[in-house]
Amino acid sequence: MSHQLKNRGEEGDRSRRTPSMKRTRPAEKAPGRRRSQPGQKERAGGSPASGSPRRKQAERRGRRELLGDRERGSAEKTCGGRRKKDGRASLREQRAASKKEKEAQRKEEMWKQLKKHRSSSVASSTSSGESLSEEELARILEQVEDKKKLIASMRSKPWPMARKLAELREAQEFVEKYEGALGKGKGKRLYAYRMLMAKKWVKFKRDFDNFKTQCIPWEMKIKDIESHFGSSVASYFIFLRWMYGVNLVLFGLIFGLVIIPEVLMGMPYGSIPRKTVPRAEEEKAMDFSVLWDFEGYIKYSALFYGYYNNQRTIGWLRYRLPMAYFMVGVSVFGYSLMIVIRSMASNNQGSTSEGESDNFTFSFKMFTSWDYLIGNSDTADNKYASITTSFKESIVDEQESNKEENVHLTRFLRVLANFLIICCLCGSGYLIYFVVKRSQEFSKMQNVSWYERNEVEIVMSLLGMFCPPLFETIAALENYHPRIGLKWQLGRIFALFLGNLYTFLLALMDDVHLKLSNEETIKNITHWTLFHYYNSSGWNESVPRPPLHPADVPRGSCWETAVGIEFMRLTVSDMMVTYITILLGDFLRACFVRFMNYCWCWDLEAGFPSYAEFDISGNVLGLIFNQGMIWMGSFYAPGLVGINVLRLLTSMYFQCWAVMSSNVPHERVFKASRSNNFYMGLLLLVLFLSLLPVAYTIMSLPPSFDCGPFSGKNRMYDVIQETVENDFPTFLGKIFAFLANPGLIIPAILLMFLAIYYLNSVSKSLSRANAQLRKKIQALREVEKSHKSVKGRATPRDSEDTDKGNSKNGTQLTKEGTAHHPASQSQTLDQKAQGPGASSSASKTVLLASQHLPVSRAPGVRPDSGQARPQVHPWRSTSGKRAWRPPH
């Protein structure tokens, strides 16, 4: 009886095993065909990160194939011819199987044999890489014949159309691929050649992938930092790298389309007043102190707006520089908006796919974190660090999720903290407003003291120095998870920095308006001077006077260049301050702590000063606001982006070095969310904010009369109108005029709002559906789990599987789990009734099998799998003696 049961158990076991075989086979199919590469799969397995997508694909394909096979098995009941392959086949002979099924078997067998051949004679197959043995040729020939037959008889098969098509295509492909191998001489060589090429191609692709990975700049540095400081610090560096990429594109745009054409084709320096240093500044124009302030020769260079001439076209290319200048200014913003929004969207897409429940986080980390292929001690050190960090991160997450606290107290504390911080923000906002007002008064007064002149800057930097730590202290009340805490901190400091921005812009606007009001008088003076110069008496009337030297022409203040210089100075000083802070605050402190610790009263490393932590929020915001400055300033100082590229590049290296040399990881290392959409959101906000003043100046301030590409026009955007009128056919001008009609613009805006509303609601409903599906999957998993645990409890536990012979069956099962087999449960009960002694091995078999069902597969997917399975691969009886018995 127990024998019988065992037998039945094996049927179940067989049925269970088949799908996973099927599942893995396609992965092997490719290398199997290209016989010359043994172990393609394994190589992919060596680096699980790169190999896993391929494997998944193969799995999916395998599953499809499996379903197809089942269909085949159940749909086809006709008896087909029998085939004798080898000793194993005799077992198969015992039952009548469908023809189609046979074909699948044959195919499979071929792969098996191919593989067997490969494994049994690796030496020969590697040495004679591309040539084919006779045996193999015969096999392929046979297979090709089969496929041809299949193609011929496809019409009469009772299959659905889609399947017929798929089969046909597959068969044709196969025939096409392998027919060449069967030809004598040339065909064979061609086949061998193609094999060789395919192999080379795979290798090339792999090498190329490696190359691509190596090409990602600073990847190793960032990984290094990530392994020591956790993903949160690394996220800053990834953001910095992204920013560098964006700035490179902007740099290419501005340099390629504005600065280089101007330098190559524009009028040279000294030809006209706007391109010449005025007489009064000439002697100091080359001094370093002047140049450092971006005055002198730098001010009258292509780096700034004022240098550009308002000629419509320049050079022999007739390049329309003013137009290009305007369009580049617009496209800088356009590109930045697009790239920010696109990366936000792609981050979102990535985040929806991760929803894996992590049931065994710690077990996984504990048992599988070490990569046994590591042979380099540096890599090993990094791996140590990253294992440590990931443990720390998980601990933080774990503590956070297990925290049980007084909800009311927490809520109260959070409200209190927010209240305090809002008070702080309002206070500092008012302080800034007050100081700015005062400074406007001071600017009107004569002989103000140094403090009064620099009051705004002093107050701003004091606020910037003391508010963030204050916020952090207050935030400790809130007791958030550090990841969320970082976001709050970022948002609050952002609000504070907005005040900074506000004062800066306000001061700038005042300056601009002052200059604009003076412009009219200067314009008159210029005209008058020129007029006077040419018409003055006392000069010989017969000889035309030489034109006035450009350096002597009185000129306006050119507010655009002034704005550009302000931004330039701000960027450079910001960079300096950052670097000096890092040097003093981090590096010197680290040196002090490290070396003075030998002769100090208390432990410096553990005690008061200790080492600095990397300030993520400050650095991220610094980067974001710096980028805002660049966006605002690049219209008036085209060279600003170049400076910024340099800044980002140096700060990448400098900060990487500083972090690794003088910072310590945070006390609570936390895992950053993979998508740093929060940074991106802040960046988008800053981009929008910096768009506003630029748009305002372009749209509503008149450009200076004697400098810049738009001089002489009423407004800067007139350049578009001019181009449309002069360079396009007239009907286009009419169309533009028509499009600019408010009667058209308002409906267009309305339409856009409607579209936004519609898309928004669609995406909301989709995400709701997504969440529901996820819940469903979760529920299915839970059901399956509880099922398993019920079964696990139903079987005796005392049988420790130390006995090898006993565990054998279990092992076979656990290797390939499959969907739940209803028969096995009843069987378990049967065996239990029999007593553990008689059937301990069989019952363990079931236990193990039930425990190793892959969770990803829902039981509802193939309800009849238990019955259908044995028909698919019936020859896979593990016993040579026992005959296969059809399921009842």
Partner 1 sequence: MGSRSSHAAKIPDVDSIRRETGFSQASLLRLYHRFRALDRTGKGYLSRLDLQQIEALAVNPLGDRIIDSFFPDGSLRLDFPGFVRVLAHFRPVDEEEDGNRDPKEPEPLNSRMNKLRFAFQLYDLDRDGKISRHEMLQVLRLMVGVQVTEEQLESIADRTVQEADEDGDGAVSFLEFTKSLEKMNIEQKMSIRILK
For residues 419 and 412, the answer to whether their CB atoms sit within 8 Å is no
Burial status of residue 565 (CB atoms within 10 A of its CB: 0-12, 13-18, 19 or more): buried
For the CB of residue 609, give the shortest distance to partner 1 in the complex, in Å.
Answer: 21
Please state, in angstroms and as integers, the Cα–Cα distance from residue 869 to each residue in 19, 92, 817, 821, 886, following that order. Answer: 8, 16, 13, 10, 11
CA 48 to chain centre: 19
Please state, in angstroms and as integers, the Cα–Cα distance from residue 49 to each residue in 43, 45, 234, 719, following that order. Answer: 12, 9, 19, 53
Among 394-402, 550-558, 672-680, 864-872, the segment contacting partner 1 (CB under 8 A): 394-402
* List 398, 520, 782, 864, residue binding partner 1 (CB under 8 A): 398
Using rule CB under 8 A, residue 47 touches partner 1: no
Using rule CB under 8 A, residue 46 touches partner 1: yes
| Pairwise CA distance, residues 112 & 118, whole Å | 10
Residue with smaller CB distance to partner 1, 29 or 492: 29
Indicate the helix (H) or strand (E) that contains 456: helix 455-478
Q: Considering just the CA atoms, what is the radius of gyration of the chain in Å?
A: 38
For the CB of residue 804, give the shortest distance to partner 1 in the complex, in Å.
Answer: 6
Residue with smaller CB distance to partner 1, 386 or 617: 386
Q: CA geometry: angle at 602 spanning 597 and 606, to 5°? A: 75
Using rule CB under 8 A, residue 359 touches partner 1: yes
Residues between 703 and 722 that touch partner 1 (CB under 8 A): none
Residues between 104 and 163 that touch partner 1 (CB under 8 A): 112, 115-116, 118-123, 126-127
* List 284, 403, 879, 883, residue binding partner 1 (CB under 8 A): 879
Residue with smaller CB distance to partner 1, 347 or 806: 806
| Pairwise CA distance, residues 369 & 366, whole Å | 6
Among 376-384, 408-416, 430-438, 554-562, the segment contacting partner 1 (CB under 8 A): 376-384
For residues 609 and 589, the answer to whether their CB atoms sit within 8 Å is yes
Residue with smaller CB distance to partner 1, 362 or 419: 362
Burial status of residue 205 (CB atoms within 10 A of its CB: 0-12, 13-18, 19 or more): exposed
Residues between 573 and 602 that touch partner 1 (CB under 8 A): none
For the CB of residue 397, give the shortest distance to partner 1 in the complex, in Å.
Answer: 11
Secondary structure (H, E, C), 235-268: HHHHHHHHHHHHHHHHHHHHHHHHHHHHHHHCCC
Alpha helices by DSSP H, 361-406 = 361-368, 377-402
Using rule CB under 8 A, residue 608 touches partner 1: no
Among 184-192, 260-268, 370-378, 603-611, the segment contacting partner 1 (CB under 8 A): 370-378
Closest CA to 522 of 700, 706, 697: 706
Using rule CB under 8 A, residue 355 touches partner 1: no
| Pairwise CA distance, residues 441 & 436, whole Å | 9
For the CB of residue 140, give the shortest distance to partner 1 in the complex, in Å.
Answer: 18
For the CB of residue 357, give the shortest distance to partner 1 in the complex, in Å.
Answer: 10
Residues between 1 and 40 that touch partner 1 (CB under 8 A): 17, 21, 24-25, 38-39
- Kindly state the tokens that stand for 615: 């300030």
Residues between 797 and 816 that touch partner 1 (CB under 8 A): 797, 800-802, 804-805, 807-812, 814-815
Residues between 59 and 98 that touch partner 1 (CB under 8 A): 88
Please state, in angstroms and as integers, the Cα–Cα distance from residue 545 to each residue in 160, 499, 553, following that order. Answer: 96, 55, 15
| Pairwise CA distance, residues 663 & 665, whole Å | 7
Using rule CB under 8 A, residue 391 touches partner 1: yes
Residue with smaller CB distance to partner 1, 404 or 800: 800
* List 373, 407, 445, 606, residue binding partner 1 (CB under 8 A): 373
For the CB of residue 599, give the shortest distance to partner 1 in the complex, in Å.
Answer: 25
For residues 781 and 357, the answer to whether their CB atoms sit within 8 Å is yes
Using rule CB under 8 A, residue 401 touches partner 1: no
Please state, in angstroms and as integers, the Cα–Cα distance from residue 170 to each residue in 108, 151, 167, 256, 598, following that order. Answer: 15, 10, 5, 51, 76
For the CB of residue 46, give the shortest distance to partner 1 in the complex, in Å.
Answer: 6
Residue with smaller CB distance to partner 1, 376 or 406: 376
Among 339-347, 358-366, 621-629, 822-830, the segment contacting partner 1 (CB under 8 A): 358-366
Residues between 635 and 654 that touch partner 1 (CB under 8 A): none
| Pairwise CA distance, residues 231 & 674, whole Å | 8
Residue with smaller CB distance to partner 1, 554 or 859: 859
Using rule CB under 8 A, residue 375 touches partner 1: yes
Using rule CB under 8 A, residue 48 touches partner 1: yes
User: Residue 839, Cβ neighbours under 10 Å: how many?
Assistant: 25
Residue with smaller CB distance to partner 1, 418 or 814: 814
* List 372, 602, 608, 731, residue binding partner 1 (CB under 8 A): 372
Residues between 160 and 199 that touch partner 1 (CB under 8 A): none
* List 45, 315, 491, 796, residue binding partner 1 (CB under 8 A): 45
For the CB of residue 382, give the shortest distance to partner 1 in the complex, in Å.
Answer: 11
For the CB of residue 430, give the shortest distance to partner 1 in the complex, in Å.
Answer: 45
For residues 17 and 876, the answer to whether their CB atoms sit within 8 Å is yes
Phi, psi of 245 (to 5 degrees): -60, -45
* List 196, 387, 498, 838, residue binding partner 1 (CB under 8 A): 387
For residues 150 and 103, the answer to whether their CB atoms sit within 8 Å is yes
Q: Considering CB under 8 A, how many residues would be counted as binding partner 1?
A: 78
CA atoms within 13 A on the CB side of 584: 5
Residues between 831 and 860 that touch partner 1 (CB under 8 A): 851-852, 854-855
Using rule CB under 8 A, residue 540 touches partner 1: no
| Pairwise CA distance, residues 103 & 231, whole Å | 52
Please state, in angstroms and as integers, the Cα–Cα distance from residue 143 to each residue in 91, 194, 447, 684, following that order. Answer: 21, 19, 100, 60
Among 275-283, 367-375, 683-691, 725-733, the segment contacting partner 1 (CB under 8 A): 367-375
* List 492, 555, 666, 876, residue binding partner 1 (CB under 8 A): 876
For the CB of residue 870, give the shortest distance to partner 1 in the complex, in Å.
Answer: 14
Contacts 24+ apart (CB under 8 A), 99-106: 100/72, 100/76, 101/69, 101/72, 101/73, 101/76, 101/871, 101/872, 103/146, 103/150, 104/69, 104/72, 104/872, 105/873, 105/875, 106/142, 106/143, 106/146
The pattern of x and - marking residues 771 through 800 that bind partner 1 according to CB under 8 A reads ---------------------x----x--x
For residues 106 and 146, the answer to whether their CB atoms sit within 8 Å is yes
For the CB of residue 101, give the shortest distance to partner 1 in the complex, in Å.
Answer: 16
Using rule CB under 8 A, residue 346 touches partner 1: no
